[in-house]
Copies of this chain bind each other. A is one copy, B any other.
Amino acid sequence: MPTPLNIGLIGAGRIGRVHAANLQRRIPDARIILVADPIEEAARAAADDFGVKFAVAEYQTVLHSPAVDAVVICSATHTHAAITMEAAAAGKHIFCEKPLDFDLAVIDEVLAAVKQAGVKLQMGFNRRFDPTFARVRQAVLSGEIGAPHLLHIISRDPAPPPPAYVKVSGGMFLDMTIHDFDMARFLLGDEVTELYAAAGVLVDPAIGAQGDVDTALVTLKFAGGALGVIDNSRRAVYGYDQRIDLLGSAGGIRTENLHANTATVSTRDAVRRDLPLNFFMERYTESYVVEMQAFVDAVRNDTPVPATGEDARAATALALAARQSYTENRVIAL
């Protein structure tokens, strides 16, 4: 086996630790050699837990380390753009968690810098790598269901985030629907040309008090003629609800939620099964491994990354348009 790819991890919070575990344990041809986190104990803890020698507070140390081939950016959201630009300038390949930024002008600047530096940038749209959603994409690509006509993306959280988070999240469209905009573009391999966002506050008045919504239906028109709708709720009491229903000219494909077991119990009252997986990190466990392996492969083989900065820009543009559509209650052309 050739030398593994040397990776510097920037940010040792929840998602940073997910990537660390996968890189160290499930991806043979890459390894983390350095962890950075402004909370140095967090960096140290992650380094210890995942068998990494070096831990530092300053992410610049990672960028300037000649041994580092690529960085995985899992820092606070508002730092993504700046660190990505610095990493590009330092000639490191970049895996960056979403979002890149909420401002399209900033994103454009970042993308230009990345292009200029000639490094790879993969965005953390992990759901593309979920085996079930990948199966839907395959059904479209292979022609199994013909040309796409009608798409439903159901994407509901089990419980609303705390008010403090809502405040800094950018609002539901930028925080939650953005995943589904990416999914819509990914599944159909097509661009959205118009959208209309109907939304409201049905789950938690505290969310409304902060000027945000918690329930939405976003209608999409695609360049190729297909129509789509994204269904978002901040609370499906039965668990994390992530499903696709796609009708094509030659057939349809639908997906189901994942459950921790396959048992069905029948009693005097009902036929029932245990609730679906409740937490995104359980639901999407596999997708995080596959996306990181894809990044490592793209860097090692110098092939295109499967989720680009341009994808991040497109999803952000759709999220901003949805916000505008909701605010002005009208159809928005992109």
The smallest C-beta distance from A320 to any residue of chain B, in angstroms, reads 19
Q: Is the CB of B150 within 8 A of A217?
A: yes
Q: How far, in whole Å, are A330 and B194 apart by their CA atoms in the complex?
A: 12
Q: Is the CB of A266 within 8 A of B252?
A: yes
Q: How far, in whole Å, are A269 and B239 apart by their CA atoms in the complex?
A: 10
Interface residues on A, range: 35 or more
A interface, CB within 8 angstroms of B: 24-26, 28, 49, 51, 131-132, 134-136, 139, 144-145, 147, 149-150, 152, 154, 156, 194, 196, 198-200, 202-203, 215-217, 219, 221, 225-229, 231, 233, 235-239, 241, 244-245, 247, 249-258, 260-276, 329-331
From B49, B255, B263, give the contact of A135 (CB < 8 A). Answer: B263
Residues of chain B with a CB closer than 8 A to A198's CB: 194, 196, 219, 221, 227
Chain multiplicity (copies): 4
Q: Is the CB of A219 within 8 A of B221?
A: no
Closest A-B pairs by Cβ, 7 of them: A272-B272, A238-B266, A251-B267, A25-B25, A256-B262, A270-B272, A132-B261
Residues of chain B with a CB closer than 8 A to A276's CB: 266, 271
> Which of A145, A217, A250, A256 has the most chain B CB within a 10 Å cutoff?
A217
Q: Is the CB of A247 within 8 A of B263?
A: no
The smallest C-beta distance from A259 to any residue of chain B, in angstroms, reads 8
From B25, B145, B217, B275, give the contact of A26 (CB < 8 A). Answer: B25
Q: How far, in whole Å, are A79 and B236 apart by their CA atoms in the complex?
A: 47
The smallest C-beta distance from A17 to any residue of chain B, in angstroms, reads 13
- Residue in B closest to A220 when the chains form the complex, CB atoms: B198
Residues of chain B with a CB closer than 8 A to A274's CB: 135, 270-271
> Assuming A25-B26, A150-B215, A221-B198, is B131 touching A265 (CB within 8 A)?
no
The smallest C-beta distance from A324 to any residue of chain B, in angstroms, reads 14
